Amino acid sequence: MLDAVLVGTSGTIPLPGRWLSALLVRLGSELLLFDCGEGTQISMRQIGWGFKAISALCLSHLHADHVAGLPGLLLTIGNAGRTEPLAILGPVGTSRAVAGLRTIAPRLPFEVAVLEWTGGEAVAWNGATLSCTPLDHAIPCLGYRLDVPRHPRFDPDAARRLGVPIERWKHLQRGEPVEIDGRTVRPADVLGSARRGLRLGYVTDTRPTVAMPAFFAGADLLVCEGTYGDPADRDNAVENRHLLFSEAAGIARDAGARHLLLTHFSAKMLDPWRHVGHAQAIFPNTSVGRDHLTTTLRFDD
Amino acid sequence: MLDAVLVGTSGTIPLPGRWLSALLVRLGSELLLFDCGEGTQISMRQIGWGFKAISALCLSHLHADHVAGLPGLLLTIGNAGRTEPLAILGPVGTSRAVAGLRTIAPRLPFEVAVLEWTGGEAVAWNGATLSCTPLDHAIPCLGYRLDVPRHPRFDPDAARRLGVPIERWKHLQRGEPVEIDGRTVRPADVLGSARRGLRLGYVTDTRPTVAMPAFFAGADLLVCEGTYGDPADRDNAVENRHLLFSEAAGIARDAGARHLLLTHFSAKMLDPWRHVGHAQAIFPNTSVGRDHLTTTLRFDD
pLDDT tens digits, A215-225 = 999 999 999 99
Residue B235: pLDDT over 90: yes
- Identify the residue among A12, A60, A104, A114 best suited for mutation to test binding to B, counting B beta carbons within 10 A and taking the highest: A104
Residue B151: pLDDT over 90: no
Q: What is the mean pLDDT of residues A163-181?
A: 91
Residue A103 near chain B (CB below 8 Å): yes
Residue B174: pLDDT over 90: no
Mean pLDDT rounded to a whole number for chain B: 96
What is the separation, in whole angstroms, between the first and last Cα of chain A?
A: 12
Residue B112: pLDDT over 90: yes
From the CA of A25, how many Å to the nearest CA of chain B?
A: 21
Q: Return phi, psi of residue B39, to 5°.
A: 100, -10
ipTM value for the complex: 0.88
What single DSSP character describes residue A247?
H
- Domain chopping of chain B, boundaries: 2-150+198-297, 153-192
More confident residue, A218 or B192: A218
Task: Domain B2-150+198-297: give its CATH architecture.
Answer: 4-Layer Sandwich (3.60)
pLDDT tier at B17 (50, 70, 90 boundaries)? confident
pLDDT of residue A284: 98
Domain A2-144+196-297 in CATH 3.60.15.10? The answer is: yes
Give catalytic residue positions of B: 65
Residue A100 near chain B (CB below 8 Å): yes
Percent of chain B with pLDDT over 90: 93
pLDDT tier at A185 (50, 70, 90 boundaries)? very high
For A16, nearest residue in chain B (alpha carbons): B42
- Identify the residue among B49, B103, B114 best suited for mutation to test binding to A, counting A beta carbons within 10 A and taking the highest: B103
Nearest to B42 among A39, A102, A104 (CB): A39
Task: Specify the pTM.
Answer: 0.91
Q: What is the mean pLDDT of residues B76-104?
A: 98
Residue B105: pLDDT over 90: yes
Contact B234, B242 (CB under 8 A): no
Residue A60 near chain B (CB below 8 Å): no
Q: What is the pLDDT of residues A82-91, one digit of tens each?
A: 999 999 999 9
Q: What is the pLDDT of residues B31-86, one digit of tens each?
A: 999 999 999 999 999 999 999 999 999 999 999 999 999 999 999 999 999 999 99
